[in-house]
């Protein structure tokens, strides 16, 4: 009996472990009672119980830890998620306005940087020079700028007369209207720029768009359809006046 009590003192009982220890004590007691006498065998059993008690303690702390973990888990379980209220936006899903603005920005960027990649100039028999693609272009993609000198309409007429005198000068004047004003981009002067060399077709694969960059209107040629690598770039010059047709009959096709 005295031995069992010393176990009790030794283990400094915590309230929640009371039950486990009590069970061990009871078991010990019953063992002692059965054996009646204090012998080596029962002492051994006592040690076995103390070991099992230790195991029980370990088990209890483990359970406690698990409970704590569950608490943290519960804590999260108890909270709504933001995704219950707001939808996750797919990265490429934006409002129409955002997309348009971004496209405009990209266009302005391309114009400012003078982007001209994916293009090559080739000579075509009976037609002269033409511009061909060296990569695919997607519909709506910026292809090249029709770059030249921006002049007003009266200056354009004056120059056209001058150019008309010389049979060898081609037709490189692009007339357009923006915000009620008539403008012309004169690309007659031979430059590195490829935009001026693109040929005419009424059913071309490019469209022209006027873009304002730093308050100056500029002409961007945009892919009208998906363009495959190796295709010739063409757009509608839009000039069907009798005078032009007499000089350049190909404008009709």
- Contact positions vs other proteins (CB under 8 A): 75-89, 91, 102, 105, 109
Q: Are 175 and 195 in contact (CB under 8 A)?
A: no
User: Least distance in Å: CB of 104 to other proteins?
Assistant: 11
Size (the chain), residues: 253
- In 10 A of CB 32, how many CB atoms? 17
Tokens for 144, please give them.
């090249």
User: How far is 162 from 68, CA to CA, in rounded Å?
Assistant: 91
What are the residues whose beta carbons fall under 8 Å from the beta carbon of 150, sequence distance 6 or more?
Answer: 183, 184, 185, 216, 217, 218
Of 47 and 85, which has the nearer Cβ to other proteins? Answer: 85
User: Exposed, middle or buried, 184 (CB in 10 Å: 0-12/13-18/19+)?
Assistant: buried
For the CB of residue 185, give the shortest distance to other proteins in the complex, in Å. 25
Nearer to other proteins by Cβ, of 2 and 82: the residue is 82
Minimum Å gap between C-beta 153 and other proteins is 33
Q: In the numeric block, which tokens belong to residue 184?
A: 């012309």
Which residue, 102 or 155, has its beta carbon nearer to other proteins? Answer: 102
**For other proteins, the closer CB: 93 or 122:** 93
The pair phi, psi for residue 52, each rounded to 5°, is: -65, -30
Which CB, 82 or 138, lies closer to other proteins?
Answer: 82
Q: Which is nearer to other proteins, 3 or 109 (CB)?
A: 109
Q: Specify burial of residue 55 (Cβ count, 10 A radius: 0-12, 13-18, 19+).
A: exposed
Closer CB to other proteins, 15 or 126, in the complex:
15
Look at residue 236 and give its three-state secondary structure: coil
And the tokens for 1? 């009996």
Minimum CB–partner distance for residue 103 and other proteins (Å): 12
CB of 64 to other proteins, least distance (A): 16
* Contact by Cβ (8 Å): 199, 232: yes
Closest separation in Å from C-beta 48 to other proteins: 39
Tell me the closest approach of the beta carbon of residue 72 to other proteins, in angstroms.
Answer: 11
């Amino acid at each position: 009996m005295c031995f069992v009590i010393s176990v009790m003192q030794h283990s400094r009982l915590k309230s929640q472990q009371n039950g486990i220890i009590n069970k061990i004590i009871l078991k010990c007691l019953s063992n002692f009672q059965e054996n009646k006498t204090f012998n080596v065998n029962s002492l051994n059993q006592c040690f076995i119980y103390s070991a099992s008690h230790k195991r029980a303690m370990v088990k209890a702390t483990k359970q406690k830890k698990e409970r704590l973990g569950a608490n943290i888990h519960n804590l999260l379980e108890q909270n709504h998620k933001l995704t219950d209220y707001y939808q996750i936006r797919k990265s490429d899903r934006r409002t129409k306005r955002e997309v348009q603005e971004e496209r405009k920005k990209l266009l302005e960027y391309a114009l400012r940087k003078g982007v001209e990649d994916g293009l090559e100039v080739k000579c075509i028999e009976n037609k002269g020079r033409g511009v061909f693609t060296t990569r695919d272009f997607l519909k709506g993609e910026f292809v090249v700028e029709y770059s030249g000198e921006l002049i007003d309409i009266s200056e354009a007429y004056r120059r056209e007369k001058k150019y008309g005198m010389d049979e060898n000068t081609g037709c490189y004047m692009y007339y357009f209207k923006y915000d009620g004003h008539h403008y012309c981009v004169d690309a007659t002067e031979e430059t590195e720029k490829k935009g001026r060399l693109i040929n005419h077709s009424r059913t071309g694969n490019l469209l022209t768009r006027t873009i304002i960059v730093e308050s100056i209107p500029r002409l961007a040629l945009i892919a009208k359809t998906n363009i495959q690598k190796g295709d010739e770039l063409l757009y509608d010059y839009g000039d069907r006046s009798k005078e032009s047709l007499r000089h350049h009959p190909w404008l009709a096709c």
